[in-house]
Structure 1
Amino acid sequence: MNQPLAKLNIFSGKGIQMRTFHITWLTFFFCFFGWFGIAPLMPIVREQLHLTKEQVGNITIASVSATIIARLIIGRLCDTLGPRLSYTILLVIGAIPVMCIGFANSYESFLLFRLIIGIIGASFVITQFHTSVMFAPNVVGTANAVAGGWGNLGGGITQIAMPLIAAAFVGAGYIDKANSWRIAMIVPGVILLIMAFLYYRFTKDTPNGNYNEIKRQTKEKKKGTFVIALKDYRTWVLAIAYAACFGIEITVDNVAATYFVDNFKASIIMAGALASIFGFMNIFARALGGIFSDKVGKIYGLRGKGLLLAGFLVLEGIGIILFAKAGTLPMAIVSMLIFALFLKMANGGTYSIVPFVNKDAIGSVAGIVGAGGNIGAMLVGFLFKSKNISYSQAFYYIGIGVAVVGLVVLVTHLRTSNKVQSATNIKDDAALARA
């Protein structure tokens, strides 16, 4: 019988665990092209559709709103239907509005497409769930952080890739610049369909096979997992924490290019390149958060993981305040790197705790916490649509809010059961593999 791996070898693709690991983070990576591919092209869309600041703000809010419900549903489906089928269905359905957004010819139609596209954001929950069942407790935080971080990297790559794709279509003479965003969005839609096939064909729900192929001893325990997760205060603490880190991340993915165009007079391609710096931090920063959290957890348990997460959030908030106050482009870039580092480490730290909340409801806990991230993005989105608040002021208020959340996590006592606690601290790999 195959067991969850007690060691993460990122250079290996051997075995169902590592094959699933690589396919799931790569799929999540391309999901960002569908979810946020239009973000760096928004200055062009804004000009063609004659959008106001308030309308752009509404579009930003819409892009993360549907994800809230989608993540809650997907988390439950992972517990029941399984991650393999859940991901396949999500990718096929999500590809449709991505390819069709080019038909939008008004604010209302564009807003609707942007809202529906948001369901793709639920892909994160499946990625974290699938990684959690493939790796043992001693390394699951690191595995989740690396998979999530490398996947989130797509949010940075798309910032520079999509403007270049649009420019390539213009250069080839297929379309004019004003309409280039329409044809460019077909590319990520096609990629999502390809990944749907690969996910269905080459992954398994668990190390022992798909849900319909194995006798699941925990079948009865799967009933009511969503309610169990809702009743646990730790789920809500992590949801609030994730709102303050990942919620801010996807907000930055949405507004960064426009911010650099408006505040520093950057071109579309240059603004996309600058915004991509933020996303590139995912190559290592989220993984660092998971690695540090796993090491702290082995010594100090879940309480130590919680204190570390609180520290990440406070430092993230300070970094955002510095970014808001940056008066020059170099200072803005430096401060963005600072807050990006701690933000993404907080992402990794949050989901290094998720698998330890309730091992029989991992999907539901992951879904609720993930939805918390999008609720955070939706709420701060109202700051960016306000006529009376500039983007710089919005970032300043966000920085203060994130630091406050960090203090809340700091004073909250995260505890766990003796069974999970021992699995967190134990050093014997064989025992961990059986946990």
Structure 2
Amino acid sequence: MSSTTLNLFSFTGKMKILHMSWLAFFISFVVWFNHAPLMLVIAEALKLSPAEVKTLLILNVALTIPSRIAIGILVDKFGPKRTYSTLLAVGSIPCFMFAAAADFQQLALARFLMGFVGAGFVIGIRMVGEWFPAKQLGIAEGIYGGWGNFGSAAAAIVLPSLALAFGGENGWRLAITSTGALALGYAVIYFFSVSDTPKGSTYFKPKKAGAMEVTSIWDLFFYILMTVPLYAALTLLTWKLSSTGMTLLSDTTATAIHVAIWLLFAYNVYKIVHINEAHLSQPIEALHKYKFKQVAILDLSYLVTFGSELAVVSMLPMFFHDTFKHTGITTVQAGLLASSFAFMNLVARPGGGWLSDKYGRRLSLSICVIGCAVGYAVMSQINSQWPIALAFAVTFLCSFFVQAGCGAVYAMVPLIKRRMTGQIAGMVGAYGNVGGVTFLTVLSFVTPELFFLTIAGTALLVAVTVQFIEEPQGHMVEIMEDGSVAMIEVN
């Protein structure tokens, strides 16, 4: 048996932690996307306009960007067991609110609050990183991410049937309520079934909470620069909801939100400087240093992989229907064809992690990102003259590189600095949402052909930056509570 092979049928030790954690992630995604397959019924029941439906879809992701950063800080401070259990339990509340909503305003508030549930992904990255050695980390993180991500597809498959089974005008409400009850129940099960680390291991925490520690003055400026796109994406979302977009927000409200976003940015910069000024004023030993460029390159890689996935799965059903409608393709058939893009998560994310474990982190990530660039460039050429089977095959192949790229990114995240794994995972994950917001905004101004080419060009640029990432070698160094040095193998 190879060093990267896992016994998936084992439910003891580290495999129990993996199974319990991907299931927690799976449930969080079921809750996060429980509205999507029922949206037509909800819109009809509460007399929602098309603009209000689109607004709900945007609000569902609005809070995810800042919440992934916040959850990363919390998991590093309090540990994954408590953080995941709390997130699932608290996440059930906006779920119940949405199910009980009587008008658009109540739906909008619940969907906005629901966005933080999407940050659950970050917690499991730290948990799996604590339990698995570097030689198995990529495939373990890939299984966690890929199988957990399937929760959105499971919601689309199961919830409409569940609503029909409940029946009546409140069938959709009961279906959504059941997902909240599931999250609340599993929160208790998870808390009493897992531990943050294997017995005898130390859970390393940051010295100060609120921002990542960096180890050079140039990395401090680099860190501040890399936070700008996070707030720019929130500004973009606000613009889309303002009078120039969907007119949900008045000009006064939108201006107030814009000001609040950039005041929050200023506070974030203050926290970054405050947390780092003390230790940067003194020489830092080489063994304690890490390079922030590792985090930045992974940010950009996830922007183009997971970010493009978020955007493409939103537009692909309509793209297939409009392109091949002359063949008589139905909206249901187009949706099934498009679902292959997300379905690949089950095998491609673990595949990307396995490649990273076996052939190296930088090489695997390079292949995946270049594959994304080529795949999207070919997808840009799909037109009504293509056979549907060929269009499907190209989409399927492109999706493999996209999902495998996500797996390759998180195969490396836990190998940078153990005590800040949650914060690093949170920032990288937030960049995925930044990518989704950015690419969907591009789509609103250009044709699908230019949309795919934009992603391909972005992937090509990111592929260049990946060549500057450094393969993890040797050990990470952390300091024990008694002052002794702990060496954590990273290759």
Band of TM-score, shorter chain: 0.7 to 0.9
282, 304, 308: which one pairs with 1:244? 304
User: How many Å apart are 1:285 and its aligned residue?
Assistant: 1.1
Change (3 A) 1:271 1:28: farther
User: How many Å apart are 1:165 and its aligned residue?
Assistant: 1.4
User: How many Å apart are 1:53 and its aligned residue?
Assistant: 4.6
Pair 1:295-2:281 in alignment: no
Partner residue of 1:140?
Answer: 137
Deviations 1:96-141 (A, max 9, x none): 1112212334333322222111111111101111111111111211
TM-score, with normalisation over the residues of structure 2?
0.72
Partner residue of 1:186?
Answer: 177
Q: What SS does the aligned partner of 1:95 have? A: helix
Change (3 A) 1:41 1:345: same
Q: 1:61·1:381 contact (CA, 8 Å) conserved in 2?
A: no
User: How many Å apart are 1:276 and its aligned residue?
Assistant: 4.3
Q: Partners in 2 of 1:150 and 1:314 — Cα distance?
A: 25
Q: What SS does the aligned partner of 2:97 have? A: helix
Change (3 A) 1:358 1:398: farther
Change (3 A) 1:224 1:29: closer
User: How many Å apart are 1:303 and its aligned residue?
Assistant: 3.6
Q: Partners in 1 of 2:318 and 2:89 — Cα distance?
A: 30
Q: Partners in 2 of 1:252 and 1:44 — Cα distance?
A: 24
Change (3 A) 1:260 1:206: same
TM-score, with normalisation over the residues of structure 1?
0.80
Change (3 A) 1:140 1:225: farther
User: How many Å apart are 1:383 and its aligned residue?
Assistant: 5.2
Change (3 A) 1:82 1:292: same
Q: What SS does the aligned partner of 1:139 have? A: helix
Q: Partners in 2 of 1:220 and 1:7 — Cα distance?
A: 32
Pair 1:11-2:71 in alignment: no
Identity %: 31
User: How many Å apart are 1:199 and its aligned residue?
Assistant: 1.0
Partner residue of 2:119?
Answer: 122
Letter in 1 for 2:154: I
Partner residue of 2:54?
Answer: 57
Change (3 A) 1:219 1:277: closer
Letter in 2 for 1:362: T
Q: 1:78·1:363 contact (CA, 8 Å) conserved in 2?
A: yes
Gaps of 5+ in 2: 224-291, 477-486
Q: What SS does the aligned partner of 1:360 have? A: helix
Deviations 1:399-424 (A, max 9, x none): 2232222212222233338xx41359
354, 360, 372: which one pairs with 2:413? 354
Partner residue of 1:33?
Answer: 30
Change (3 A) 1:105 1:288: same
Give the count of matched residue pairs: 401
Q: Partners in 2 of 1:127 and 1:104 — Cα distance?
A: 31
Q: 1:159·1:275 contact (CA, 8 Å) conserved in 2?
A: no
Q: Partners in 1 of 2:21 and 2:301 — Cα distance?
A: 24
Q: What SS does the aligned partner of 2:413 have? A: helix
Flag the structure with higher helix content. Answer: 1
Q: Partners in 2 of 1:223 and 1:245 — Cα distance?
A: 29
Q: 1:257·1:271 contact (CA, 8 Å) conserved in 2?
A: yes
Pair 1:226-2:217 in alignment: no
Change (3 A) 1:355 1:291: same
Partner residue of 1:409?
Answer: 462
Greater RCO, 1 or 2 (C-alpha within 8 Å, sep 6+): 1
Deviations 1:150-202 (A, max 9, x none): 111222222221222122222xxxx13xx543222112111111210111010
User: How many Å apart are 1:373 and its aligned residue?
Assistant: 0.9
Q: Partners in 1 of 2:205 and 2:391 — Cα distance?
A: 51
Q: 2:371·2:398 contact (CA, 8 Å) conserved in 1?
A: no
Q: What SS does the aligned partner of 1:250 have? A: helix
Q: 1:156·1:278 contact (CA, 8 Å) conserved in 2?
A: no
Partner residue of 2:438?
Answer: 379
User: How many Å apart are 1:91 and its aligned residue?
Assistant: 0.5
Q: Partners in 2 of 1:324 and 1:350 — Cα distance?
A: 32
422, 427, 430: which one pairs with 2:474? 422
Q: What SS does the aligned partner of 1:361 have? A: helix
Change (3 A) 1:253 1:113: farther
Partner residue of 2:93?
Answer: 96
Partner residue of 2:422?
Answer: 363
Who wins on radius of gyration, i.e. which is larger? 2
Pair 1:153-2:213 in alignment: no
Q: What SS does the aligned partner of 2:429 have? A: helix
Letter in 2 for 1:83: P
Change (3 A) 1:422 1:7: farther
Change (3 A) 1:307 1:334: closer
190, 212, 222: which one pairs with 1:199? 190
Q: Partners in 1 of 2:191 and 2:331 — Cα distance?
A: 37
